[in-house]
Amino acid sequence: MSTFGERLRVAMDERGPLCAGIDPHASLLRAWGYDDDAAGLERFTMTAVEALAGTVAAVKPQSAFFERHGSRGIAVLEKAVSAARQLGALVILDVKRGDIGSTAQAYADAYLDQSSPLAVDAITASPFLGVGSLDPMLDTAERHGAGVFALALTSNPEGPQVQHARTVDGATVAGTVLDALRSRNSGADPLGSFGAVVGATIGRTEEDLAINGPLLVPGIGAQGGAPDDVRRIFGSAVRNVLPSSSREILAVGPDAAELRDAARRANETFLELVP
């Protein structure tokens, strides 16, 4: 069984580093000429998946935009995940789950156990109930060849209040998260399966981002992040950066050729950063 890190390294080397976000906002559905209902959600999502999943390393559906449509929305998500994987893209489900004990294990079973109908290649998770609270997810991911991206340095303005806070031993909360991921990835080759979410608009950071794992970087494009920001923030770790762009790509839809062309342009921009 291959690990998520192994599969991601191959995908990034073959297809480029871009992760295409699939965020079916109500406003985007309307902009594409679709109703804001489950049928419109399905048309939007499958158009995006069929246009993008055959060309990018990974796609990242935002779970909340499917959950808002209830059980029919979750059914669309299941269909999209299956289709994206069949087209060769890795699927990172943006759920930002965080809990403890048996509830954390239930989330892990839902998304990371590959026998689940909602199984994906990796999820995003929140470590802010304590990094150890992620152990059920990390352990389950390891058993099933999946991955986890823990929030570390996010670009929302509220983030630093928690992430830059110092623990009793003087380390920042973000640094503690990064240290835990680095430990989990120790010895992995060519790339660990446990990554960090680091925003493209955080500015400079003193944290060590070399965790021998992938770095999921939202905030590219419409949110203001640019290639120069990525180069400055990540330095020698830039080869492991998975830049995520959603609105800038989806804004050109629903024409499939235009969606693919937007993704190709974004990918080429970031390929120039890879040594």
Task: Assign 3-class secondary structure to 61-76.
Answer: EEHHHHHCCHHHHHHH
Cα–Cα distance for residue pair 231/238, rounded to 1 Å: 7
Cα–Cα distance for residue pair 46/60, rounded to 1 Å: 13
Rg (CA), the chain: 18
Q: What is the pLDDT of residue 183?
A: 99
Cα–Cα distance for residue pair 111/33, rounded to 1 Å: 31
- pLDDT mean over 204-233: 85
pTM greater than 0.95 (yes/no): yes
For residue range 125-156, list pLDDT tens digits in order: 999 999 999 999 999 999 999 999 999 999 89
Query: 188: which 2 tokens?
Result: 């992995």
Residue 46: name the closest of 265, 253, 251 by CA: 253
**What pLDDT band is residue 223 in, cutting at 50, 70 and 90?**
low
Catalytic residue numbers, as ranges = 96
**What pLDDT band is residue 224 in, cutting at 50, 70 and 90?**
low
Q: Is the pLDDT of residue 240 over 60?
A: yes
CB atoms within 10 A of CB 144: 21
Identify the burial level of 195 via C-beta atoms within 10 angstroms of its C-beta, where 0-12 means exposed, 13-18 middle and 19 or more buried.
buried
Domains annotated for the chain, with CATH where assigned, are 4-273 (3.20.20.70)
Q: Is the pLDDT of residue 275 over 90?
A: no
**What pLDDT band is residue 222 in, cutting at 50, 70 and 90?**
low
CB-based contact 234:191 (threshold 8 Å): no
* DSSP string covering 62-123: BHHHHHTTHHHHHHHHHHHHHHHHHTT-EEEEEEEE---HHHHHHHHHHHTSTTSTT--SEE
For residue range 254-272, list pLDDT tens digits in order: 999 999 999 999 999 888 8
Query: 273: which 2 tokens?
Result: 């950063």
